[in-house]
Amino acid sequence: MNKKKLILIAGAIALCVTTSFVTVMIYKITDKDKFNSETVANPPAKFASMTGTEIGQTDFTTAAERTVHSVVHVKTMYKIRNQYQGFSDPFFEHFFGVPRRQQREMPEQESSAAGSGVIISADGYIVTNNHVVENAFEIEVTLNDKRTFTAKVIGTDPSTDIALLKIDADGLAPITFGNSDNLKVGQWVLAVGNPFNLTSTVTAGIVSAKARSINILSVDMKIESFIQTDAAINPGNSGGALVNTAGELVGINTAIASQTGSYAGYAFAVPTTIVSKVVTDLKEYGVVQRAVLGSQITDIDDKLAKEKDLKTLNGAYVAGFTQNSAAKDAGLKEGDVITAIDEVAVKSVAELQEQISRYRPGDNIKLTVLRKDKEQIFTIKLKNMSGNTGIVKNADLSVLGAEFQQVTPQLKRRFNLEDGMLTSKVTRNGAFAKAGIEAGFIVLKINRQTIRSQEDIANIYNSAINSSEEDDKVLLVSGIYQNGKVMHYIVNLK
């Protein structure tokens, strides 16, 4: 019998009591600001480019020598809770004829995991995957020369699975950024990382596909436009470098497709066109300035084309709009098909998302649209997720006085939950404590919006504190305690 295919995050290879890698089943669950490998604050006008000779080059020694000193080993420490230990209830079994499992909470334990990272500036900025460092209370970075540093998280972006770290070091060897737009299917690439804690490992393969969406990210506003390669990647490679034969960074290795948990022929990387914008924003603002069209879009298949009488299978079909939609304000209508952004063709939702992710709220773009088989061009001023063009501030969740972590599979099964975030810690003088919320509370909704990640909490919090109306500076928090008690709280942010 064929095992069900899994998409596996290739990052966290556990060193203690955790499992050897993180697995995620396929289920529902970013060229305006270019990046400078020397300093994030002053992005250059252009990416480095490859010559035709370099594209066809099959001697990988130069690329390996240029990149191994720029890739680091990232070790993380976590606190995990063995959520429950079951024991039988003889009285329940006696009266009902079936055993009942009672549960009790076990104390927290420390565990470690590891991944990779890429040095992007001489003064210690490092890019890695969000899932490599998510929920870690300690992050240790080991350079290729064996020096070890404690890293600080500058910012994370679950929507692209990218995180920016900083170590207190100078004179490092930053990698050179290449332009992932120049990659061609069939072109040689190298993966550089630390699989299974084997440091400075280099593997080679070709680009198998581009703009691949694999539905692995479990957050709202996710952006999946991965480079697919057959370069061998295994647990521990996450956050490492995907480079071209000139030794230029073209992607951050993120995931593998496998039935076993180890490399089985397919690997996926976030392209530098997305990475450069994300890390520049994280460096400057602490949070990504994400521009949105404000439209509900879907890929076009043969069924949809016949149903809607469309003459093309390329592009993104506009199925609806959100509140304060930039696209709707510009004149787009349901049934339109977006085929290009600033004259760059987009054949799928993934390609459209990748193009939009390069811009900030307030930027103007030109959309090429097919409406009843006639091509029209619209100029759109992009907005942020709050429906305006202002700069989004970094959510200082310390005001809430709470720490959050993902709800465990056990708790999800116990309460039949699909979403939510567990409040793992509540400090005495924080807004959560003042509202009466205690540790262990599972946050399901805030201001009637479903909570699936800490980013969701941050976005709602940002909208509230950035509102010009004093009455909006409150959070209506709904959820459930682990004893089954459902509660609603009003958290005052004034």
Which pair of tokens denotes residue 440? 């262990």
CB 347 within 8 A of CB 19: no
Q: Which of 73, 112, 121, 131 is catalytic?
A: 131
Beta strand pairing status for 108-119 and 125-128? antiparallel
**Nearest residue to 487 (alpha-carbon basis) of 406, 428, 395, 423:** 423
CB 462 within 8 A of CB 386: yes
CA separation, residue 258 to residues 15, 23, 55, 232, 380 (Å): 21, 10, 29, 12, 41
**Nearest residue to 30 (alpha-carbon basis) of 353, 255, 391:** 353
Is 398 marked active-site? no
User: In terms of C-beta density within 10 A (0-12 exposed, 13-18 middle, 19 or more buried), how is residue 98 classed?
Assistant: exposed
CA atoms within 13 A on the CB side of 483: 4
Is 161 marked active-site? yes
User: In terms of C-beta density within 10 A (0-12 exposed, 13-18 middle, 19 or more buried), how is residue 445 classed?
Assistant: middle
Q: Which residues contact 450 (CB under 8 A, 6 or more apart)?
A: 419, 444, 456
Q: Which of 161, 281, 336, 456 is catalytic?
A: 161
CB 479 within 8 A of CB 450: no
Helices (H), 393-430: 409-415
Q: Which residues contact 112 (CB under 8 A, 6 or more apart)?
A: 14, 15, 16, 18, 75, 76, 77, 78
Q: Which of 180, 238, 276, 357 is catalytic?
A: 238
Beta strand pairing status for 295-299 and 316-321? antiparallel
Query: What is the distance between the alpha carbons of residues 427 and 400, in angstroms, rounded to a whole number?
Result: 9
- CB count in 10 Å sphere of residue 61: 8
Query: What is the distance between the alpha carbons of residues 178 and 187, in angstroms, rounded to a whole number?
Result: 14
Which pair of tokens denotes residue 27? 């289920």
Q: Which residues contact 175 (CB under 8 A, 6 or more apart)?
A: 37, 66, 67, 70, 71, 118, 119, 120, 241, 243, 247, 248, 249
Q: Which residues contact 190 (CB under 8 A, 6 or more apart)?
A: 60, 63, 64, 67, 202, 203, 204, 231, 241, 242, 243, 244, 245
CB 115 within 8 A of CB 142: no
Q: Which residues are catalytic?
A: 131, 161, 238
